[in-house]
Amino acid sequence: MSGVFRSNRAILAALLSVLVACTGSGGDVEPTRSGDGATPDIRSGGAITFGIIGEPATWDPYAAQASAATFALVRPLYPSLFSFEPDGSVRNYLAESFEKTKSGFRVTIEKARWSNGRRITARDVVASARRARAPSGFARVRSAVVVGTRKIAFRAPFADWKRALATASFVLPAGRVPRGKTVSGGPYVLESVTPGLEAVFARNDRWWGDDDPRLHRVVVQFIQDLDVMLALLEDRRLDGAAPTSSVNLGARLDAIGVEHEESLGWETVYLDLEGAQLDDSGRHALARAVDRALIEEGFIRDSGRTVDTLHPSPGRRGAEGEWTAAAFPIGDASNERIRLAVGVGDELTELIQRALRLQFEDAGFEVELVTTDAATFYGPWELTDPMDVAIRRAA
pLDDT tens digits, 169-191: 999 999 999 887 789 999 999 99
**Rounded to whole angstroms, how far apart are CA atoms 189 and 169?**
18
Q: Are 156 and 105 in contact (CB under 8 A)?
A: yes
Cα 127 vs. chain centroid, distance in angstroms? 22
DSSP 172-233: -GGGSPPTT----SSSEEEEEEETTTEEEEEE-TT--SSSPPS-SEEEEEEES-HHHHHHHH
pLDDT at position 314, please? Answer: 60
Least confident of 88-92, 231-235, 243-247: 243-247
Q: Is the pLDDT of residue 149 over 60?
A: yes
Q: Is the whole model's pTM more than 0.85, yes or no?
A: no
HEC letters along 102-164 = CCEEEEEECCCECCCCCECCHHHHHHHHHHCCCCCHHHHCCEEEEEECCEEEEECCCCCHHHH
**Rounded to whole angstroms, how far apart are CA atoms 242 and 25?**
7
Q: Which of 71-80, 133-142, 176-185, 242-251 has the highest mean pLDDT?
A: 71-80
Cα 22 vs. chain centroid, distance in angstroms? 13
Taking only the tens place, the pLDDT of each residue in 334-377 is 678 999 999 887 788 898 999 999 999 998 999 999 998 877 88
> Per-residue confidence at 276, pLDDT binned at 50, 70, 90?
confident
How much is the mean pLDDT over the chain?
Answer: 82
> Per-residue confidence at 11, pLDDT binned at 50, 70, 90?
very low
**Rounded to whole angstroms, how far apart are CA atoms 374 and 381?**
10
Tell me what the mean pLDDT of segment 85-95 comes to. Answer: 88
Q: Is the pLDDT of residue 310 over 70?
A: no
Q: Is the pLDDT of residue 37 over 60?
A: no
**Rounded to whole angstroms, how far apart are CA atoms 49 and 326?**
47
Tell me what the mean pLDDT of segment 99-107 comes to. Answer: 93
Tell me what the mean pLDDT of segment 114-128 comes to. Answer: 98
Residue that wins the pLDDT comparison between 75 and 36: 75
Strand 90-92 relative to strand 82-84: parallel, antiparallel, unpaired?
A: antiparallel
pLDDT at position 313, please? Answer: 63
pLDDT at position 152, please? Answer: 97
Taking only the tens place, the pLDDT of each residue in 51-81 is 998 888 899 999 988 888 899 999 999 999 9
**Rounded to whole angstroms, how far apart are CA atoms 82 and 90?**
7
Q: Is the pLDDT of residue 110 over 50?
A: yes
DSSP character for 93? S
Q: Which of 190-199, 288-297, 380-389 has the highest mean pLDDT?
A: 190-199
Q: Are 338 and 366 in contact (CB under 8 A)?
A: yes
| 3-class secondary-structure state, position 253 | helix
What domains can be seen in the chain, in order of their start residue? 2-20+267-394 (3.10.105.10), 55-223 (3.40.190.10)
Residue that wins the pLDDT comparison between 83 and 15: 83
**Rounded to whole angstroms, how far apart are CA atoms 133 and 140?**
8
CA distances from 129 to 2, 141, 246 (A): 21, 8, 35
